[in-house]
């Protein structure tokens, strides 16, 4: 049976300052104090060029390696990169005007009305993008008079869409009595669909794979598309695949809070190994709810609001190609229901058990990727440095196993860990932002292996007090060495 | 150990990326406290 490999990865960001007000925390604050909160929020938003030049964002799309952040003085938002680029090795940072057009392109139910003057501008912006210039951009034409947009906003529960400080359109609710189809939910779902599609397009380009060759799509976004009878029913995987021309693919949505991407990858690995599918794409779009989640902390510290981007991820899992890093299916770590909730129990389940099964020491793993939230976003809001906490815990396990001395923990963290660089988009920081970097570093021979560890907060759904976690391990593919040896023999 | 929090009622707030609520609650019960509420939150 073919061992699964990670053949390609893509990462995108979308700069959406006009949507920060619709994040869960900002929208609640604005409802409580409409004038003051909105004014404060708008005064702390970044322009697009600042989001592009922000060092962690450049790491996310692959133009910088994670370790390079150790050499950039903090705060990083005060040290923009002079040579930053919109496009990166793994994707891009899309501006809002193109994304508004992409949302309209992704809209199959006329949920979005664009204002008559804004529509051609947004159409023109999207037309300049290589992925969408050949799409049916006629959907974006035919704007609506502003008075009709205002009437919908004032009387029908539609929400305004903002661009450069003015209303550029609106999004409607699609049922008078169904809160799962109200404008805010549909906006959230449409943003996940459009950003997921952008990530998938980059993945197909990176893998040089025709869209029709994808067989299965697994969506791991954090939205909950559905209706009043089937809240969170799904359908996002196929919606994204349809937008990207994956006409031969089927698909479904995988839900597991922040650890969703790892479950989706695990299913992809297993289905490829079992020969049920040969090419599986895992895709995750961005989370509108988490925009501006820590904005009060940022504002209090006089910082720009750093949670102004949606994230998107996509991965292509195939059978062994003799080149891409192999996934060790005997190295899957899982947090059992009966494992207990202490940090030590969780880390033992996710790190030690799979390493023991593979006969490896903690220090034999070149790099650990844990939850990779950008600490500049979280520390300023009192939420701590999540990656550092997790790396210290793994280092502490290495001390308990007598692999390193207690005084070596900081060196262990520096050598086997990395600074967080991911936007706080829930499922997006879940270890996998390092997967593209790891795959390429292993292919270049700079490292041999890496372990990916993510955690999920099941208790947030109020159905259990449990948390969750999953881990997997990839290593250098010996395929080329084998073929070289056999060639020499021949 | 059992008398450290004897007669005390405690409310426990845990952190998903720190110490989870149930783990703190177990320690508090072991120290004699009556745990009246346990919550774990995710701050990211």
Query: What pLDDT does B1 receive?
Result: 63
Decide if A425 touches B, using CB distance below 8 A: no
Decide if A384 touches B, using CB distance below 8 A: yes
Q: Is the dihedral of CA A206, A207, A209, A213 positive or negative?
A: negative
Residue environment code for A41-55, b if the CB has 16+ CB neighbours within 10 A, otherwise e: beebbbebebbbbbb
pTM of this structure: 0.95
Q: How many residues are listed for chain B in this entry?
A: 44
Cross-strand partners of A253: A219
A-chain residues within 8 Å CB-CB of B40?
341, 457, 459, 465, 467
Chain A CA closest to residue B15: A383
The answer, yes or no, to whether residue A315 has pLDDT greater than 60, is yes
Q: Nearest C-alpha of chain B: how many angstroms from A411?
A: 21
Decide if B18 touches A, using CB distance below 8 A: yes
Query: What pLDDT does A47 receive?
Result: 98
Q: What is the mean pLDDT of residues A199-209?
A: 98
For the stretch A68-125, pLDDT in tens is 999 999 999 999 999 999 999 999 999 999 999 999 999 999 999 999 999 999 999 9
B22 contacts A343? CB cut-off 8 A: no
Token pair, residue A300, equals 């209090």
Query: What pLDDT does A306 receive?
Result: 98
Give the residue among A435, A450, A465, A405 at the shortest CA–CA distance from A91.
Answer: A435
Helix or strand (DSSP H, E) at A160: strand A159-163
Domains and CATH numbers, chain A: 4-110+189-319 (3.40.47.10), 112-171 (no CATH), 326-489 (3.40.47)
For the stretch A394-430, pLDDT in tens is 999 999 999 999 999 999 999 999 999 999 999 999 9
Token pair, residue A280, equals 């599986």
Give the residue among A30, A37, A84, A17 at the shortest CA–CA distance from A56.
Answer: A84
| Interface predicted TM-score (ipTM) of this complex, two decimals | 0.78
Please state, as a whole number, how many other Cβ atoms lie within 10 Å of the Cβ of residue A227.
Answer: 13
User: Could you tell me where the DSSP H helices lie in A65-161?
Assistant: 96-105, 118-127, 146-155
Decide if B27 touches A, using CB distance below 8 A: no
């Amino acid at each position: 049976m073919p061992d699964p490999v990670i053949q390609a990865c893509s990462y995108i960001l979308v700069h959406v300052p006009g949507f920060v007000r619709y994040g869960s925390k900002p929208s609640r604050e604005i409802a409580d104090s409409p004038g003051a909160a909105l004014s404060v929020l708008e005064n702390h938003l970044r322009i697009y060029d600042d989001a592009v030049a922000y060092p962690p964002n450049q790491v996310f799309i692959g133009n910088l390696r994670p370790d390079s952040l150790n050499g950039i003085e903090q705060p990083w938002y005060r040290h923009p990169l002079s040579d930053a680029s919109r496009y990166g090795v793994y994707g891009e940072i899309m501006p809002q005007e193109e994304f508004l057009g992409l949302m309209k392109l992704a809209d199959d139910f006329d949920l979005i009305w664009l204002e008559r003057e804004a529509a051609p501008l947004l159409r023109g912006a999207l037309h300049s993008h290589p992925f969408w210039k050949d799409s049916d951009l006629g959907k974006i034409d035919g704007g609506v008079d502003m008075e009709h947009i205002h009437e919908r906003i004032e009387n029908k529960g539609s929400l305004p869409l903002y661009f450069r400080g003015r209303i550029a359109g609106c999004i409607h609710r699609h049922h008078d009595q169904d809160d799962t189809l109200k404008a805010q939910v549909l906006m959230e779902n449409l943003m996940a669909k459009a950003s997921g599609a952008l990530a998938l397009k980059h993945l197909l380009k990176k893998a040089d794979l025709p869209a029709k060759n994808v067989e299965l799509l697994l969506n791991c976004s954090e939205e909950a598309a559905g209706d009043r009878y089937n809240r969170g029913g799904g359908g996002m995987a196929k919606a994204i695949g349809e937008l990207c021309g994956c006409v031969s693919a089927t698909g479904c949505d995988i839900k597991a809070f922040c650890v969703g991407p790892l479950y989706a990858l695990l299913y992809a690995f297993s289905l490829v190994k079992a020969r049920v599918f040969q090419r599986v794409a895992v895709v995750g779009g961005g989370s509108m709810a988490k925009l501006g989640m820590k904005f009060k902390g940022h504002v209090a510290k006089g910082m720009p609001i750093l949670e102004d981007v949606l994230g998107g991820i996509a991965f292509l899992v195939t059978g062994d190609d003799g080149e891409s890093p192999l996934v060790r299916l005997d190295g899957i770590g899982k947090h059992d229901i009966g494992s207990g909730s202490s940090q030590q129990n969780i880390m033992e389940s996710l790190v030690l058990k799979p390493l023991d099964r593979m006969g490896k020491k903690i220090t034999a793993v070149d790099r650990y990727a844990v939850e990779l939230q950008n600490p500049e976003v979280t520390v300023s809001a009192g939420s701590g440095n999540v990656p550092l906490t997790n790396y210290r815990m793994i280092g502490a396990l290495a001390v308990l196993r007598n692999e390193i001395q207690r005084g070596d923990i900081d060196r262990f963290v520096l050598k086997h860990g990395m600074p967080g660089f991911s936007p706080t988009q829930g499922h997006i920081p879940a270890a996998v932002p390092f997967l593209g970097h790891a795959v390429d570093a292993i292919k270049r021979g700079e490292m041999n292996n890496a372990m990916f560890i993510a955690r999920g907060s099941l208790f947030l759904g109020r159905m259990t007090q449990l948390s969750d976690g999953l881990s997997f391990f990839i290593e250098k593919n010996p395929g080329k060495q084998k073929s070289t040896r056999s060639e020499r023999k021949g | 150990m059992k008398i450290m929090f004897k007669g005390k009622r405690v409310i426990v707030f845990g952190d998903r990326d720190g110490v989870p609520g149930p783990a703190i609650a177990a320690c508090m019960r072991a120290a004699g406290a009556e745990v009246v509420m346990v919550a774990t939150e995710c701050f990211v």
